[in-house]
Amino acid sequence: MRVGVLTGGGDSAGLNAAIRAVARCTFADGGTVVGIHNGWAGLTGAGDMRDLVPHDVSGILTLGGTILGSSRVNPLADPETMAAVRGNLARSGLDALVTIGGDDTLRVANALAAGGAPVVGVPKTMDNDLQVTEYCIGFDSAVAVVTEAVDRLHTTAASHHRVMVVEVMGRDTGWVALMGGIAGGADMIVIPEFPVAVDTIAEHLDRRRGRGREFSIIVVAEGADVAGLAPVDLSQAPRDSFGHVQLSRRGVGDRLGAQIEALTGFETRITVLGHTQRGGQPTAYDRIWATRVGAAAHDLVRAGRFGEIPVKRGDQVVPAMIADVVASARQVPAELYELARVFY
């Protein structure tokens, strides 16, 4: 069997563990693995792919990023590009394609599978916002970065009696902000699912000061809306092929920090973690579960169960439909958000 594998969208720690698992399992079956370079871009034009050998996936378990490269090319945005992808799949002689990605990448995979292409998915997104599954590659590693940053900022915030605003990734959902904030002991967490006004944040900081708390850590997801902040016009900002604006252009951390200082008098500093949340070595948890879902993707290929994706349910990996996984964003539930508020 000839199996292609690609990684699309933003990189996440654990991608190489999944590539390794797909490849090792395929090699064990006597099959051939074809690495497709740079996500869907590797299936456009003349195609960009090569056969992998066991040495290519040796020693990559602990590496961040992806040895195959990635991109945000969106074939669904252009019928001719989508036709090129289908044509390259047909000409390549692949018996199956394993697509490792988040909602954007998997929507393309779902469209191909709906048209009869032999496609299997693997759930990857540090935002942790895919439906059905309890695990997405890269989320645990991103939370670990946020947790360490908040831990480190506590001491400098306390020493200088400052408010520290920590901006983390999270376009539509606040999983990374919430979990990293809980683990790091943040004093307030602001996420897209539960909007809050800047006056409410200022009042919370004043109440803390009244209790003798002369410093605070606020974790804010980059996609959060905070009423009362100066608006930002992004109508002319460049967008990727999936229609997304680069969220660092919103500058929610900077705008929030400036307004907090103006309203409370607290000296305020802003830390934007940015791409540090994507980079570096994956945690043990990401290595283990990326290996498990990668191996399960191979099992789906071998069984001919195309249009499906392995997902985590409890301690098990079970199959689900890609269409169900990308149906909508999985948001932070109210009860988890309310738990975080107990510790403010």
Question: Is residue 283 helix, strand or coil?
Answer: coil
**CB crowding 81-97: b at 16 or more within 10 Å, else e:** bbebbbebbeebebebb
Q: What is the pLDDT of residue 231?
A: 80
Cα(185)–Cα(164) distance, integer angstroms: 13
Same fold, 2-138+282-325 and 141-278: yes
The active-site residue, picked from 11, 103, 104, 127, is: 127
Strand ranges in 213-342 using DSSP code E only, listed in sequence order = 216-221, 226-227, 268-272, 308-313, 316-321
Q: What is the pLDDT of residue 250?
A: 81
Cα(127)–Cα(14) distance, integer angstroms: 14
Cα(251)–Cα(259) distance, integer angstroms: 12
Cα(108)–Cα(316) distance, integer angstroms: 26
Q: What is the pLDDT of residue 245?
A: 63
- What is the distance between the terminal CA atoms of the chain, rounded to a whole angstrom? 55
Cα(257)–Cα(254) distance, integer angstroms: 5
Strand duo 163-168 + 216-221: pairing: parallel
Is the four-CA dihedral 65, 178, 289, 118 of positive or negative sign? negative
Distance of CA 150 to the CA centre of its chain: 19
Q: 3.40.50.40, 3.90.550.10, 3.10.105.10, 3.40.50.450: which CATH number matches 2-138+282-325?
A: 3.40.50.450
Q: What is the pLDDT of residue 145?
A: 98
What CATH superfamily is the domain 141-278?
Phosphofructokinase domain (3.40.50.460)
Using CB atoms within 10 Å of the CB of residue 314, give its burial: 0 to 12 exposed, 13 to 18 middle, 19+ buried: exposed
Q: What is the pLDDT of residue 243?
A: 65
Helices 103-114, 79-92: crossing angle, 10 deg rounding: 70
Query: How many Å is the maximal CA-CA distance in the chain?
Result: 70
Backbone phi, psi, residue 98, to 5°: -100, 120
Structure tokens at 95: 């018996």
Residue 127 appears among annotated catalytic residues: yes
Question: Is residue 73 helix, strand or coil?
Answer: coil
Sorted by where each begins, the domain ranges of the chain are 2-138+282-325, 141-278
Cα(316)–Cα(70) distance, integer angstroms: 28
Q: What is the pLDDT of residue 232?
A: 78
256 and 198 Cβ atoms separated by less than 8 Å:
yes
pLDDT per residue rounded down to tens, the chain (344 residues) = 999 999 999 999 999 999 999 999 999 999 999 999 999 999 999 999 999 999 999 999 999 999 999 999 999 999 999 999 999 999 999 999 999 999 999 999 999 999 999 999 999 999 999 999 999 999 999 999 999 999 999 999 999 999 999 999 999 999 999 999 999 999 999 999 999 999 999 999 999 999 999 999 999 999 999 999 988 766 666 666 566 666 666 899 999 999 999 999 999 999 999 999 999 999 999 999 999 999 999 999 999 999 999 999 999 999 999 999 999 999 999 999 999 999 99
Q: What is the pLDDT of residue 240?
A: 67
